[in-house]
Structures are given as C-alpha cells and as structure tokens.
Amino acid sequence: MFFKKIFFLVFTLPFLCFGALDLKVQEHVLHNGLRILLYEDHTTPVISYYTWFNVGSAHEKKGQTGIAHLFEHMMFQGTKKYGKKQYDTILANHGGQNNAFTSQDYTAYYVNIPSEHLELVMDLESDRMVNLNVTQENLTSEREVVKEEKRSRYDNSPFGKMYEVIFPLTYPENHPYSWPTIGSMKDLNSLSVEECMNFYKTYYAPNNATIVLVGDFDLKKTLELFEKYYRNLESQNISVLPQPESVKQKKEKIKTIYFTTQSEMMITAYHGTSALSHETYALDVLGTILSDGKSSRLYKKLIYEDQVATGISAAHNGNKLAGTFNIRLIMKPGLPIQKGEKLIIQVIENLKKNGVTENELQKSKNQILSSFLFGLKSKENTAYSLGANQIIFGDYRHFFEDIDKYNEVTKEDVLKVAQKYLHHNNKNTVYLKPLQQ
C-alpha cells in the first residue's frame, strides 16, 4: 500500500541513509492491553495524540453498513462527565485541533494541541473510550449529518458514485470489503441506539486500541499519566476478523452509470494483494512508474502525447485483508472513454511485454525516498505512521524494514506483478457517462 508505505519508511530512511535522525520510539502495554507508542520531538511546544481502534467497516454486519463511520461521529456526542458535545468545545478552549477518520480496517481519532494540555487530552480520550452517552436524540441528529456527508461525497460526486459501485462489483457479497465505508442510506436509516451501543461495547476497549503520542512531552511524567487515566479501563473479549477467501475472478466485470458530468470517466480495479504481502512493494513501484509525475508512462501517453485525458492515476491500494490496483481516468469532454482505455491497455501490455527500464526503477525509488523524507516534517504524520503500521501489521517496527524492501525491488519483480495482476480477466470497471441535460 503505497500511501501507508510512505509513512512506514519515513523513519528508517534518515536513520539508515543519513544517520542524522535518531527516532527512539518507546512502546508500553498497560495490563488491560492498551498499547502506547511514544516519540519525543521537542522542536515546537505541540503534541499530536492519536487513538487508533482496530475496527473499521470490514467489521460491520450485513444490514449495519456504515455503523463504524457513524459511530466515529457518535464519539463526539458526549459522556456523563463531559456533557453533550462538550468534547470539541473543551479542546477549542485550549487551542486544540481534532478530527477522526474511518477506513475499512481501522478508526482513528487525533488531537493536535499545545503540549501543556496533554493531561486534558488523556482525560477526555480515556473517558470517551468507555463512558460514551449514546442517546436517541444525538443519534437522530448525527445520522442526518452523516447522510449529508454521503450525499456530498458519494451521491453528488462523480468519483464517489463510481466508488459506491466499484466495491460490490469487485468483491463478492460476503466479502468485508464489498461495501463502501459510508454504508447504504437504507442501513444508515435503520441503525438504532442499541446497535450503536453493542458496536461500542464490542470494539471500543483498551485491548483493541493503540495510542500514539508524538511531540513535546516528558516521558516519565507522561507514563504516570497514562497509568492514571487508562489503567482502570476494562479489557473486552475481541474476536479477530476471519481472513476471507481470496477472490478468484474468472472474467472481467463491467458496469456503466450515468451522471450530469461533462466528461466520461472510469475506475478500473484489478485484484491485487493485501498490504501484508511482500508483492506490495513491487506493486507500489509499478504504480509510480505508471502515473507518478509528468514523465510517467500513462501521463505521457494519455495527457501529453495523445492529449485525450485531463486526469490519470494508477496505484496499488493494499488493505489488511485484500487489495486492488486502481486506475482512474478522466477524459476530455466529448471524447469517448474507450479511446483512453485503449491507450491504457497499450501502455500496460507494452510494460508486461518489455518490462521497465533501470532508469525508471531508480527514478521510482528516488521519488518514494523523497516523499518519505518530506512526510517526516510533521508530528501529525509521524503519529499517523506509527499507528497505521501498528494497526495494519501488528507491529509499528515493521517500517524499519521497508526501506530495504523497496530497495530490493528489481525490474523482474515489477514485471512479475504486472503480469500477474494486470490482466483482462482480473479487472472490474465502472464507466461514468454524461447524462444528456
């Protein structure tokens, strides 16, 4: 998974290549199973505090799609101690910025705040981890907010509409990635307080969470605070999500939808591999060679030379249980999508026949290296990286190996994954065509 890999690597590269960065991450596990990762950075008087839960839309049951994300919203509604919607107000009163996000595999909450308010953040976060107050009133109101989010990001957005179709097209009905994180309107409308509370009790527990703290703090004092605020939280029995069977697709699947756009668009998802697979490194390099920058193969062909498209991207998206290699295309208005698709296939088939050059391979590695280093500039990115590694791989130290893994990728590896995954019968395509007004 290229995006996540970027963050994994940021820590190792400076350490290995430049010897200037000494990232001493402290790991502690409380008796109730709460994992804490700490990295001190005193450059500015600020901390970034991430709380990760090992739960995402993949953990949802049929008929409850969207509950993981809706619940993320509910986490801001208040507890007995800190009343209705007080969380944001209290943080704002102390200069804190906060937000949260939900993916298929995880849900994360973060606060960036002047470091003097660390204890306040711990108080708020430990409290809402177990004492949330879910009422019919705040569920009703927040459900409408989430439905507006869905209308904005999916129903009224060309790519959102396509994403809503590509998931069920790509994965079989019983696969946990076969629905989008936002869920369906029908399920959102039917979710009850009881279902929310069950979800909360099942997954929001210290032994299903990882806290990452990066920034300006005193280690000894901070560990005492963690004991003070989190030690009494009770752990829960968390069942591990079973690994679904890998998808064996025999034939290309296609769906066409219509929307009021000026251009024809397309998403193609080839079945790829889980983020945990070794092949993900070669797939990331392949994505870079195909569409990262103006000298990449697809950009050069479709946008620069043949001038048929205004947007093209290709990247492997590897999640915990499975992954897809996605190609997104936006045509110039008036040009048929098939014209662009034909050119994409030409580029891919050429690569599968002749492989990549040594120059392309090295360029890709240089681009990845550069991205890692620039990503290190922010405390928030650092905290994100540590948490994402811990959640996806079960060990934040995974990233220490990544630089070597990228450097080990050969031309043959790239050719092999291109031939293995980018073939006709392995792909799923959604076309979006303009609806005549």
Query: Taking CB under 8 A as the criterion, which residues in 12-41 touch another protein?
Result: 14, 17-18, 20-21
Span from 237-245, 326-334, 393-401, 419-427 in contact with another protein (CB under 8 A): 326-334
Span from 56-64, 93-101, 223-231, 236-244 in contact with another protein (CB under 8 A): 93-101
101 binds another protein (CB under 8 A): no
Q: Side chain identity at 323, as an amino acid letter?
A: G
Torsions phi, psi of 323, nearest 5? -155, 165
DSSP 175: S
**C-beta closer to another protein: residue 259 or 393:** 259
**C-beta closer to another protein: residue 370 or 425:** 370
Torsions phi, psi of 310, nearest 5? -110, -10
DSSP 18: I
88 binds another protein (CB under 8 A): yes
Q: Tell me which of 37, 286, 337, 376 binds another protein, using CB under 8 A.
A: 376
Q: With CB under 8 A, what is the number of residues at the site for another protein?
A: 72
Which candidate, 356, 369, 336, 372, places its Cα nearest to that of 410?
356
184 binds another protein (CB under 8 A): no
Cβ 257 to another protein, closest distance in Å? 12
156 binds another protein (CB under 8 A): yes
Span from 24-32, 228-236, 242-250, 299-307 in contact with another protein (CB under 8 A): 299-307
Binding mask 327-346 for another protein (x = CB under 8 A): ---x-xx-------------
Q: Is the dihedral of CA 246, 252, 255, 260 positive or negative?
A: positive
180 binds another protein (CB under 8 A): no
Cβ 321 to another protein, closest distance in Å? 28
Chain centroid offset of residue 11 CA: 19
User: How far apart, in whole angstroms, are the C-alpha atoms of residue 313 and residue 60?
Assistant: 30
Q: In the numeric block, which tokens belong to residue 236? A: 């829960």
Span from 316-324, 361-369, 392-400, 417-425 in contact with another protein (CB under 8 A): 361-369
CB atoms within 10 A of CB 395: 11
Cβ 235 to another protein, closest distance in Å? 32
78 binds another protein (CB under 8 A): no
User: How far apart, in whole angstroms, are the C-alpha atoms of residue 239 and residue 175?
Assistant: 17
Which candidate, 301, 428, 412, places its Cα nearest to that of 355?
412
Q: In the numeric block, which tokens belong to residue 113? A: 């705040």
**C-beta closer to another protein: residue 391 or 409:** 409
User: How far apart, in whole angstroms, are the C-alpha atoms of residue 209 and residue 200?
Assistant: 13
Roughly what angle, to the nearest 10 degrees, separates helices 2-13 and 279-291? Answer: 100
419 binds another protein (CB under 8 A): no
Span from 1-9, 52-60, 108-116, 267-275 in contact with another protein (CB under 8 A): 108-116
The residue ranges of DSSP E strands in 132-208, in sequence order, are none
**C-beta closer to another protein: residue 57 or 288:** 288
Three-state DSSP at 337 gives: helix
136 binds another protein (CB under 8 A): no
Cβ 51 to another protein, closest distance in Å? 18
User: How far apart, in whole angstroms, are the C-alpha atoms of residue 211 and residue 283?
Assistant: 30
Q: In the numeric block, which tokens belong to residue 342? A: 């034909």
225 binds another protein (CB under 8 A): no
190 binds another protein (CB under 8 A): no
